Amino acid sequence: MSDPFDRVFIGDVVTSQEIIRGGYVAIRGETIAAIGQGAPPPSRDTQDHSGRYIMPGLVDGHMHTASAIGWPGIEGATRSAAAGGVTTCVDMPYDVPQAVTSADVLMEKIDWVERTAHVDVALYGTIKKTGGVDAIADLAAAGISAFKLSTYEYDAIRFPRIDHPTMVAAFKEIAKTGLPVAVHNEDQELVERLTAEAKAAGNTSAIWHCRTRPPLAETMADLEIFEIGLETGAHVHIAHSSVARGFAIAEAFRGMGAQATGEACIQYLCMTEEDIIRLGGRGKCNPPFRTKEEVERMWQALIAGKIAYVSTDHAPWPADRKGSPDIFANGAGLTGLQSYAPLMFTLLDERGLSPTLMATYCAERSAKLHGIYPKKGTIRLGSDADLLVMERADYAFDEATIQDRPELRWSPYHGRRMRGRVVETVLRGQTIWNGTNVLATPGTGSFVKRQST
């Protein structure tokens, strides 16, 4: 008789393809060793979650731990991730005080991840505004999961706009690596003109954030980046589309032979212009919230399979940077890691959709695009034993429960009714969240290199 498994989790096992009612997942060491239905096999530790969902740990393919407070932000953000059912974060490169523009900087950030992270972390790389193309090959060789560039400049050093000739050169080099390049997609000239006109007219209330960053600013940028991708052979990915037309444009370019994809952030599946009026600075993100009608079109795109994956774009600013009545004076970014699993489960349930879509869009597809599948993002034999246990519940999300540092304990979803609760998060076979407390310690998480191109 074979040795008993180290751990067995009993419950309704959710994959991207099916729900195995009365199923189990057995773990040996850090990996999944058996999946089945019915009587569970012998184990040293059996966790009976009958009636609950056992899902793959979420892979958030787009978040920012260090845009506001630098690499020390990795610790708190990944604590919040553990409580939100996220077992792998894919962190953006636009960090304070320096972006990840070289293999040397990447090595420094990896050291911070290995010492301070509570969940596993994959990393993006980027390039300098000028003279950065030569660093692309070394960044790819060092294990980043993707590159990130921008058509809009937030900071000339940390978050620059890459001009068209440099973008063409960069895409050519990135194409050689086989890695995708995500692009922040807003047309700077249009946004700057509209913002200047709004300020001159005294229009600084919350709704003017939406009015000065219209859908056209996104789709203009989408067209230029996909054209460059078609020319260079690079896999170009919209980092966040708030409008369904972005996915239609990507689909059109795929029809021309391009590698063109786009992701939706979870806020664009539920938040509207009415919400930014209600929330003020706490609802400011780029791109902004759209209309109720656009939210419906986004869902149609998701159900049709046109969206690559759903992310959070978690970008926490301290609360005192989100409270100005002048919308333009607030930092742009939302907290979203700890609410990710409960909110996605709720949005699907409210529409009568299966939680298999959560396993698909919030785990499997993001892991695939970032080259860390099947190690991450799936419940299958040999994969890392990263699990999320969800139970049905009816409660209001409370920002006070966020497991980050005090000044970051705010949420645009505070008070929203949720239908699912994270009762356990498991990273590589070990429980890191028990429904009440984070059991992981700094350094429990590890850097995850891209596994495949």
Summarize pLDDT for 316-334 with one digit per residue, the tens: 999 999 999 999 999 999 9
DSSP state of 41: P
CA-nearest of 233, 236, 235 to 225 is 236
Report field, pTM of the whole predicted structure over 0.75? yes
List, for residues 385-422, the tens digit of each pLDDT value: 999 999 999 999 999 999 999 999 999 999 999 999 99
Q: Tell the residue number behind the tokens 């597809």, with chain if given.
A: 365
Question: The domain 56-369: what is its CATH number?
Answer: 3.20.20.140
State yes or no: pLDDT of 1 exceeds 90: no
Which tokens sit at 98? 């320096």
Q: Token pair of 153, please?
A: 């400049």
Q: Provide DSSP, 261-303.
A: EE-EEGGGGT-BHHHHHHHGGGG--SSPPB-HHHHHHHHHHHH
Closest by CA position to 164, among listed 225, 100, 219, 226: 225
- Give first-to-last CA distance, the chain, whole Å: 40
Average pLDDT for 97-119: 97
Q: What is the pLDDT of residues 138-154, one digit of tens each?
A: 999 999 999 999 999 99
Tokens describing residue 49: 């979650």
Residues 409, 411: Cα–Cα separation, whole Å: 7
pLDDT in tens, 260-277: 999 999 999 999 999 999
Average pLDDT on 301-324 reads 97
